[in-house]
Amino acid sequence: MTDTEPRPDSRSEPTETDGGVADETSVRLPTRRGDGSALQQIATVTRLEYALSIRNRWAFALTGLFASLAVLVVALGGQGGVVRTDAVVVSLVELSALLLPLVALVYGYDAIVGNDESGWLGMLFALPVPRSRVVVGTYVGRLAVFSGAVVAGFGVGGLLLASGGRLTPAYLGLVGAAVLGGAAFLALSLLISTVAAEKTHALGGTLLVWVWLALVHDLVSVGLIAADVVDSDWLAVFVLANPVTVFRVLALQSVPTVTGGMADVLVGSGLTTPVLVGALVAWTVGPMWLSSRLVARRSV
C-alpha cells in the first residue's frame, strides 16, 4: 500500500504532519518539544543516580572511608594529648592526594560503560532526552554523593578537632579543596567511562590515570627541574597540568608551615588560590564537556 492509499477503515482528518492524510492509527511526531525541560531531565537523572548510590551503599562506604581516614589522622596527630592541627592537615592532604583520586576514579569508572553493559543506558537513550543531559545528570548525581561523603567524612575529623578547640581554617580549606579535587577526578573518570568500550577497559584506564597523576607526574616534574632539563619557571605549568597536584597545593596553601619535602617544592610554585581553584574548575568542566560531546558517538 502506498502513501496515497489509506486503509479502508481509516477516518481521515488532514494534518500538516502526515501529508494531508490521517487516520486514528497515524504516527505523528510532535511539532514542538514536550514538557521534559533540560533542567527537569538533568535533575531526574541526578536524583536517580543519587538514589542508586544510596541503595548500592556507595554513599555509606565513601563516608565511612573518609571518616575513618580523618579520625585516624586526627588521633595520630595528637602528641601528649595535644593535637597539632597543621600536622594533621598536611598528613591528611598527603594521604588524600593518593586516596581521593583513586576513590573518585573507582566510583565513577562504570557510570556510563557500566550502565551500557547492563542495558540501562540503552533504555535511557530510548527516551526523548539528549544524551548529553544523561551524562550531566549522571555526573551531578555522583558528585553530590561524593561531595557529601567528603564533607561528612572529613566533618567527623573536624568535629574531633573542634571539640578540642583546635579546628583551624587550614582544615576547612582542606575540605573545600577535597570537594573541588573530587569533582575534577570524578569528571575524569566519567570521561574514561564514556569512551571505554567495556568496563574492564574503563577500570584499566582509570588505574593508569591514577598511577600517572598520583604517583609519577610530580616525580617526573620535579626531577626534570632538579636535573636542569627545564627551568624552574616550569613548576607552575607542571602543577596546573595535574589536578592531583593542584589539589595538594591548594589544600596546603592555608597551612602556615609546610614541613619540607615535595610539598614544600610544590607550594613554592607561586600559584594563587584563585588560579588553583580555576584550574580545578577547568579540570572539571573540560572532561565533562568532552564526555557530553563524545557520548553522542557511543554505540548502544
> Which has the closest alpha carbon to 186: 239, 149, 156?
149
Q: Could you tell me how many residues of this chain bind another protein (CB under 8 A)?
A: 48
Q: Which is nearer to another protein, 124 or 161 (CB)?
A: 124
Q: How far, CA to CA in Å, does 272 sit from each of 69, 81, 253?
A: 28, 35, 9
Question: Residues for the chain: how many in total?
Answer: 300
Region 271-300 residues binding another protein, contact defined as CB under 8 A: 299-300
CB of 137 to another protein, least distance (A): 9
CB of 56 to another protein, least distance (A): 6
Using CB under 8 A, pick the residue from 55, 79, 165, 260 that binds another protein.
55
Judged by CB under 8 A, the chain residues 2 through 31 that form the site for another protein are: 2-3, 6-7, 10, 17-19, 21-30
Of 17 and 200, the one with the shorter C-beta distance to another protein is 17
Task: Identify the sign of the CA torsion 244, 290, 48, 118.
Answer: negative
C-alpha cell at 188: 575524569
Pairing of β 82-83 and β 78-79: antiparallel
Rounded to whole angstroms, the Cα distance separating 105 from 281 reads 17
Q: Taking CB under 8 A as the rule, does residue 34 contact another protein?
A: yes
Rounded to a whole number of angstroms, the minimum distance from the CB of residue 150 to another protein is 23
CB of 16 to another protein, least distance (A): 9
Report the residue from 59, 124, 214, 249 that binds another protein according to the rule CB under 8 A.
124
Region 127-146 residues binding another protein, contact defined as CB under 8 A: 127-130
- Of the candidate residues 13, 37, 169, 212, the single one contacting another protein (CB under 8 A): 37
68 binds another protein (CB under 8 A): no
Among 14, 39, 82, 126, binds another protein (CB under 8 A): 126
CB of residue 255 to another protein, shortest distance in Å: 41
The single residue among 13, 75, 118, 169 that binds another protein, judged by CB under 8 A, is 118
**Stretch 254-273: interaction string toward another protein, x if CB under 8 A:** --------------------
In this structure, the number of other CB atoms found within 10 A of the CB of residue 89 comes to 27
168-187 residues in contact with another protein (CB under 8 A) are none
Q: Of 60, 125, 234, 289, which one interacts with another protein (CB under 8 A)?
A: 125
Q: What residues line the site for another protein (CB under 8 A)?
A: 1-3, 6-7, 10, 17-19, 21-30, 33-37, 40-41, 44-45, 47-48, 51-52, 55-56, 118-120, 122-130, 299-300
